[in-house]
Amino acid sequence: MADERISEDRAEGTGKQWSGSFKEKAGGFIGDEKMKREGQAEQSEGKLQNAWGSAKDSVREALGTKKD
C-alpha cells in the first residue's frame, strides 16, 4: 500500500497558495497593488511546489519506494 501521508513539498506548496491568496485579497482590499502582485506570485510558487511534490510522490509510488 502506498504511503498516503502528504509530502513536505505538497504541504508547503499548499501553505504558500493559501497565504498568497490571503495576501492577494488583502492587497486588493486595501488598494496595495504590490501586495496583490506578491500574493499572486506566492500562489504560483505554491502551485509549482505542490506539482513538484505530486510528481515526486508519483515516481516513489511507481518505483515502490518509501519517503526518506
Predicted structure pTM score: 0.78
The pLDDT tens digits of the residues spanning 20-67 come to 999 999 999 999 999 999 999 999 999 999 999 999 988 888 888 766
What is the helix, strand, coil percentage profile of the chain, to 5? Answer: 80, 0, 20
Tell me what the pLDDT averaged over the chain comes to.
Answer: 89
Per-residue confidence band for 2, with pLDDT thresholds at 50, 70 and 90: very low
**If we measure between CA atoms, which residue out of 13, 4, 11 comes closest to residue 61?**
4
> In the prediction, which pLDDT does 10 show?
92
